[in-house]
Structures are given as structure tokens and as C-alpha cells.
DNA sequence: ACAATAGTGTCTATCAGACATTATCCG
DNA sequence: CGGATAATGTCTGATAGACACTATTGT
């Protein structure tokens, strides 16, 4: 049916949409390109899939190289394969979405001149079709917060209900009733595990600290509606 | 940073999970492989992405070649890129999910010895990693029925509420209360458009016929719970 | 008339959202 | 004590599910 000699050759890359919540904004990890094309332009981090490496493994490797961390939630976002999305050759890119807590400022990777967290509302033109990929990633993240416990992926290991609520408010761009939100998230089986500790870093009554539970789906879901 | 000469070459294919509801079962379109490897084994339809064709366009083209129809709902399912998923060379496959009404028995395509609808519950071993891809597709379809109007994609152009309900019952494997289901789907804005016609093919009071509306999300969603 | 299916109405337990109240810290 | 935030409680309107009932056909 086919043989190695008669298939059209493609390059396969992975691109990463790495999101975090910091400074009251949803931010994406972007790198400034050091080479042509789009030299000097912001782009998503990413790179080539190696010959003996699965595509998923390439995403994990690139994420570690760009952020210095591992163990983050990482999922496939989609594959982008327009013929001329890279002006030099035929490149098919598999995009991944990663949700991260507020990490230290990322180090510039080996491939990039600079790396930085940029609020998604302030992102301008990006290299290649990365603006589209980023938009798809942001929309996916917003949707996933409704019915998965992924909001906790934006929080550090121990967090308060108010911090989790801030994540939802920032990602969705709405305000949520603190009391209803508290009742809701503490009522979802397996979402939050009390650590017993508490903190009063915000000056009021100390808030209980929680760790992520082992729930993988949120039932009932958190509906994305006002509440202010 | 990189040049056409130093990237590892990949072949890129599309694989199609084409689902339909017929004979009271959720069925997938499978082809029997005519060549090695996995000669004689059932596999998902699919083929190579051409050099000057987007990956999405390749999926549309392959779907038309395999089913003879176009205009079906088609969406990316995921990309499968383990290094040795094809024993001959490095192949990255982008899988697509298509939902079809009960089409006539498909014609054998140019690449396949035979094509057939197979109930997903009776699918045995498949070539490559296609069993995994099929399972992912079925799960995606089940989930999508909850919050999108995609159940109608399994119905013909004009259909009754009872036919739509059968789709849900078969795909989810549950029974649903006909009265509550009717109230629910007719209450969702933009889901169903009455054609004015009616049919009595099932022997009782004639049922009103509907066309698909232009809704893209189902709000409120149809929850996947019993009701019997 | 009777069987069968379509479509509408009603009841009730549950729940989301609005909002009051109490609890526990800091200064 | 006052200010701030956490946590819990109460009320109400909406709704999902259970199920009774009416409507319209074929035999």
C-alpha cells in the first residue's frame, strides 16, 4: 500500500500553551524568537519531536526545558497542519496545554532569546499561527475549569478556597460569590483535602489550607455564571 | 535554529473514527486491510496527508473517499505519535471523529479490501493502535452528546424526537423517559426546527418531524443519567 | 374499541444563587 | 474594639425526574 520511499516528508513539532495565574491576570509563557523567520517576534515555546521519542514525550521534555518544572498537567490541545504555516517547509505541529501555578520567572531556554509570562489580554501578534493556538488553549482552559478540578492546577501545593476562587474569577473574568463558591467546592467529593493547617496572610480570619484531591471529574460541575 | 536538512522526517496520516447508529447499536466504519502489515486485520479508514493539503482537508478527503458523503460533522480527536506504532517507519497520525446518519453500506475504497459497519461492542483486535483510537472516539462521542447538539448528526435530515431519543439511548446505553426527553430537547433554544410535517411510521400517533437547528452548544445540557 | 405512540401537565425533592449571620484573626 | 476575611446557615425560585393524562393515528 505504501512504502517509506513514497510518502511526503513532514517535520513534526510540539508547541506549548503554558498558562498560569499571576498578578491578577491569566498569563501565557512566551519566548522571543532568536532566529528567522519571525525573528524578534513572540512565539509559543516548542520544538522538534525527536526520532525516537513519542509526541507526548516531546511535549513533556520541552515543557521541562522551558519552565524547569515537571509534573504539571499536560494535555493535547490539537494539531495544526496547514501547508504553509511555516514558510520554510511543511511542518505539522501538535499543540499541548499546560496549567501551572505561579512559577518563578522562567529561564531563557536554549532555543529562545528570552522567555516571559505575558497576560493573555496583552498578547500581540505572534509568530506562525501561534495566536490561534494560544486562543484555542485559553478557551480550552476556560471550558475545562467547569467540569474538571483543573483550577487547582493553577494553585500551589497548599491553597485556600479564596485563592482557588481567585483563579476562577481571573480565568473566567467574572466575580463569584465567596459563600456559594465555598459551599460548592467543599461539597464536591474528592476535590479538596484539608491539610489541617491554616493561614491568615490576607489579614482576616485564617483560612483553612487544602491540597488537591484525587477527583478527575467535577460532579456537579461549577457553572460559569455570574454570582456577584 | 533549524533547517530543512536537520529535522527528522515523519510520515503524517489521518485516521477516521466514523460512527453511526444502526440496528440498535453504535457502529464504527472499519476497513479490512489488504496489505502487510496487519494484512486481513480490521483497521480504521485513513491515509496519508498530501504535500499540499492541510491535515484537516486530508480528513475531509478521506472521509469522502471512504463513505461517499461529505458535509458530515468532523472534528479532531487527537494525535497519536508513539515511535513504533507503525512497524515500518515513523508515522504520526491525526485522528478525526465523524458522526454520520445511517448511511448505505459503504463502498470498498481504493485502499481497502472491504469496508463495513461494525458494532463497537463487537470490535475485536484492530491494526496498529487503532483500538485505542476507536475507544477514544467513542468516549468523545458519548461526552459530546451531553453538551452539544451532535445527537442530531446521527439522524437523517428529518427526524422525530423519538428517533433522537433512540440515538441517545443507544450511544449511552441507558433508557430515557420519553416525556422528559421530549420536554427537554424541545425546550432547548435552536436545537430543533419543526418542519410542519409528521410521520406515523411506528404505528401510533404521528410524530412531528424536525430538522437540525443552528445551536452549537446545548444549554442546559442533557445530563447522562437514567430516567427509566 | 383497542393498541400504540406522541405530546402536555403536575408534583416534589433538590439545587443554584442571593444574602444574613457567626467565627476568628490583626492592629 | 473595629476592620477584615472565613465559614456556615437560611430562604427562594428554578428545574430534573417521576408519573398521570390527553391526543391521534392504525387495525
CB distance B208 to B160 below 8 Å: yes
CB distance B95 to B133 below 8 Å: yes
Judge: B54–A81 Cβ closer than 8 Å, yes or no. yes
pLDDT computed for residue A114 by the predictor: 83
Mean pLDDT of B200-225: 83
Task: For residue B179, give the nucleotide whose C1' atom is nearest its CA.
Answer: C7
Checking if the pLDDT of B174 tops 90, the result is yes
Measured in residues, chain A has a length of: 228
- Rounded distance between C-alpha atoms, residue B186 and residue B162, angstroms: 12
Checking if the pLDDT of B110 tops 70, the result is no
- Rounded distance between C-alpha atoms, residue A151 and residue A176, angstroms: 14
Q: Does B76 contact chain A (CB < 8 Å)? A: yes
Q: What's the pLDDT band for A226 if we cut at 50, 70, 90?
A: very low
pLDDT computed for residue B226 by the predictor: 42
Take residue A68 and report the three cell numbers written for it: 524547569
What's the mean pLDDT when you consider all of chain B?
90
Tell me if the pTM is above 0.95. no
Distances (CA, A) of B75 to B5, B44, B55, B96, B170: 33, 16, 11, 5, 21
pLDDT computed for residue B227 by the predictor: 40
Digit-coded pLDDT (tens) for A50-73: 999 999 999 999 999 888 888 899
Checking if the pLDDT of A110 tops 70, the result is no
Report if CB B183 to strand C is under 7 Å.
yes
- Rounded distance between C-alpha atoms, residue B171 and residue B20, angstroms: 9
Task: For residue B184, give the nucleotide whose C1' atom is nearest its CA.
Answer: D16
**Chain A residues whose beta carbon lies within 8 Å of the beta carbon of residue B83:** 51-54
pLDDT computed for residue B6 by the predictor: 63
Option in B34, B76, B88 nearest A78 (CB): B76
Q: What's the pLDDT band for A49 if we cut at 50, 70, 90?
A: very high
Weakest mean pLDDT among B93-102, B106-115, B124-133, B184-193: B106-115
Take residue B45 and report the three cell numbers written for it: 479508514
Residues contacting residue B44 through CB under 8 Å, at least 6 positions apart: B15, B16, B17, B28, B29, B30, B31, B95, B126, B130, B133, B134
Which of A80 and A105 is assigned the larger pLDDT?
A80
Which of A129 and B23 is assigned the larger pLDDT?
A129
- Rounded distance between C-alpha atoms, residue A12 and residue A185, angstroms: 40
Distances (CA, A) of A215 to A124, A152, B140, B224: 36, 11, 19, 19
| Residue in the block written with cell 445527537 | B151
Checking if the pLDDT of B184 tops 70, the result is yes
Number of cross-chain residue pairs from A and B with Cβ atoms under 8 Å apart: 95
Mean pLDDT of B40-57: 96
Digit-coded pLDDT (tens) for A132-165: 999 999 999 999 998 888 899 999 999 999 999 9
Q: If residue A164 lies in a helix (H) or strand (E), which one and from where to where? A: helix A161-172
Distance of CA B196 to the CA centre of its chain: 29
CB distance B158 to B197 below 8 Å: yes
- Rounded distance between C-alpha atoms, residue B141 and residue B21, angstroms: 12
| Interface with B, mutate which of A3, A4, A5, A7 (most B CBs under 10 A) | A7
pLDDT computed for residue B225 by the predictor: 56
Amino acid at each position: 500500500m505504501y512504502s517509506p520511499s513514497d510518502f511526503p516528508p513532514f517535520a513534526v513539532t510540539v508547541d506549548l500553551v503554558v498558562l498560569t495565574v499571576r498578578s491578577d491576570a491569566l498569563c501565557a509563557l512566551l519566548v522571543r524568537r532568536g532566529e528567522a523567520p519571525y525573528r524578534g517576534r513572540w512565539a509559543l515555546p516548542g520544538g522538534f519531536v525527536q526520532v525516537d521519542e513519542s509526541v507526548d514525550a516531546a511535549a513533556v521534555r520541552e515543557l521541562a526545558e522551558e519552565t524547569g518544572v515537571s509534573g504539571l498537567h499536560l494535555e493535547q490541545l490539537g494539531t495544526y497542519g496547514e501547508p504553509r504555516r511555516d514558510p520554510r517547509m511543511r511542518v505539522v505541529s501538535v499543540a499541548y496545554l499546560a496549567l501551572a501555578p505561579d512559577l518563578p520567572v522562567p529561564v531563557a531556554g536554549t532555543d529562545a532569546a528570552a522567555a516571559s509570562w505575558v497576560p493573555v489580554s496583552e498578547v500581540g501578534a505572534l509568530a506562525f499561527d501561534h495566536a490561534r493556538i494560544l486562543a484555542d488553549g485559553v478557551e480550552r482552559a476556560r471550558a475545562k475549569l467547569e467540569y474538571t478540578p483543573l483550577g487547582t492546577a493553577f494553585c500551589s501545593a497548599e491553597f485556600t478556597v479564596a485563592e482557588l476562587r481567585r483563579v476562577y474569577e481571573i480565568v473566567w473574568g467574572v466575580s463569584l460569590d465567596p459563600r456559594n463558591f465555598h459551599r460548592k467546592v467543599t461539597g464536591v467529593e474528592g476535590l479538596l483535602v484539608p491539610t489541617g493547617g491554616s493561614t491568615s496572610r490576607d489579614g482576616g480570619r485564617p483560612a483553612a489550607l487544602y491540597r488537591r484531591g484525587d477527583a478527575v471529574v467535577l460532579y456537579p460541575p461549577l457553572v460559569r455564571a455570574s454570582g456577584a
